[in-house]
Amino acid sequence: MYSKGLRPLSLITAVSVALTLAGVFYWAPNDAYLGFLQKIFYLHVPLAIITLGGFIAGGLMAVAHLRTRDPRWDMRSYVAIHISLIFGVCVLISGSIWARGAWGHWWVWQEPTLVSFLLIMLLYATYQPLRFAIDDPERQARYASVFAVTAGVFVPICFAIVRLSPAYVHPRTLDNISGNLPGRMQVVFYLALISTTLLWITLWRFEMTAKHVAAQIRHLRRLLGEEADDAPSRRSAAPSLTQVGSAG
Amino acid sequence: MLMASLPLHTAGPYVAGAYIAFLAIILLYVAIMATKLTRSERALRELTETVERRRSEGEE
């Protein structure tokens, strides 16, 4: 079900990433102040936006799970948060490298933008241990969804508070992106935003497909009697595969 | 605190480092997922064999 259209989507993503990289390094001009170092901007900013968007999407999927009790929504939320965490790690690494080049420091603790993003990442880093700590699959899914909703609400609040606080060194996100960027830089930035979004969607569908196939295999094993119906599931932070498998 | 524009030879390693780190993380993730898919493929093959064996036993 999730594999439908995955191949063309992967191809479109690969082409858009290649176009973005070509645009970044061969078409967009160098920044007058930061020079070549500003090229990190096209990686760092779209990744940060998509990471935060992914966390919010995970929260919305968790709302759907709490409303419907359909385990597939829990799985979708889990995968969305998982992919966003991976993107978030990339944001922290690329941001630190940029900070070192631009400000001479790997990290600036006085800067609210950096610290707030780290706080969000640390908050979501507790998501998987929380799931792993709960044995019962239904309770695990319910608690994880409540967490995803609460944390998902925290993300825009945190973003708004940072926008209101005075900037120390980090420019305010979305403040000078579309307005102040020269034409070519703006085009490449939006291209980078689109390709990062496509990459997130592709990886999300890729992982959903893998999880769905694993669930179906487990379901088949039970049908064939290779695994007892009441056999204890291996403890896992991932949503219950048995539930998903039986849900189709 | 901000420094003036870095020359290419100084900024290059930073830019390369950021992009390579991103690529490495994504490739690592894809490699892990590919390993899991290979495992699923093997399990599916085993299940198919089980079904075929049972079917042939039933026919006998």
Task: Tell me the per-residue pLDDT of A158-206, one tens digit each, with 9 for 90 and over.
Answer: 888 888 877 666 766 555 555 577 788 899 999 999 999 999 999 999 9
Q: Two tokens at A96?
A: 């630190």
Amino acid sitting at position A175: D
- Tell me what pLDDT residue A233 has: 61
With a cut of 50, which residues of chain A have pLDDT below it? 244-248
Cα angle: B22, vertex B24, B25; to 5 degrees: 65
- Give which of A170, A73, A156, A68 is closest to A120, Cα–Cα: A156
Contact of B48 with chain A, judged by CB distance below 8 Å, is answered with: no
d(CA B20, CA A181): 25
Tally of CB atoms within 10 A around A14? 14
Chain A neighbors of B47, CB-CB under 8 A: 217, 220-221, 224, 226
- Tell me what pLDDT residue A159 has: 85
Residue A53 forms part of a structural domain? yes
Residue A1 forms part of a structural domain? no
d(CA A32, CA A29): 9
- Tell me what pLDDT residue A5 has: 83
B16: CB partners within 8 A, 6+ apart: none
The chain B residue lying nearest A220, using CA atoms, is: B47
Number of domains in chain A: 1
Contact call for B7 and A35, based on CB within 8 A: yes
Q: How many CB pairs under 8 A join A and B?
A: 98
Phi first, then psi: give them for residue B6, nearest 5 degrees: -85, 140
Residue A161 forms part of a structural domain? yes
Contact of A207 with chain B, judged by CB distance below 8 Å, is answered with: yes
- Tell me what pLDDT residue A215 has: 86
Chain A neighbors of B28, CB-CB under 8 A: none
Residue A221 forms part of a structural domain? yes
The chain B residue lying nearest A21, using CA atoms, is: B19
> From first to last of its 60 residues, what are the pLDDT tens digits of chain B?
445 556 666 788 999 999 999 999 999 999 999 999 889 889 888 888 888 888 888 777
The chain A residue lying nearest B24, using CA atoms, is: A90
Q: Which three-class secondary structure string do you get for B16-37?
A: HHHHHHHHHHHHHHHHHHHHHH
Contact call for B47 and A40, based on CB within 8 A: no
Mutate to test the interface with A, among B1, B26, B51 (most CBs of A within 10 A): B1
- Tell me what pLDDT residue A246 has: 45
The chain B residue lying nearest A217, using CA atoms, is: B44
Residues A34 and A185: beta-carbon distance below 8 Å: no
Chain A neighbors of B10, CB-CB under 8 A: 101
Q: Give the ipTM of the model, two decimals please.
A: 0.85
Q: Which member of A101, A169, A220 has the closest CB to residue B11?
A: A101
Q: Which domain holds residue A190?
A: 6-247
Residues A61 and A76: beta-carbon distance below 8 Å: yes
Contact call for A33 and B4, based on CB within 8 A: yes
d(CA A126, CA A117): 15
Cβ contacts of B22-25, under 8 Å, gap ≥ 24: B22/A43, B22/A47, B22/A90, B22/A93, B22/A94, B25/A86, B25/A89, B25/A90, B25/A93
Residue A212 forms part of a structural domain? yes
Q: Which member of A31, A214, A224 has the closest CB to residue B40?
A: A214
Residue A115 forms part of a structural domain? yes
d(CA A164, CA A23): 33
Residue A49 forms part of a structural domain? yes
Residue A33 forms part of a structural domain? yes
Contact call for A39 and B15, based on CB within 8 A: yes
pLDDT, chain B, mean: 84
Tally of CB atoms within 10 A around A64? 16
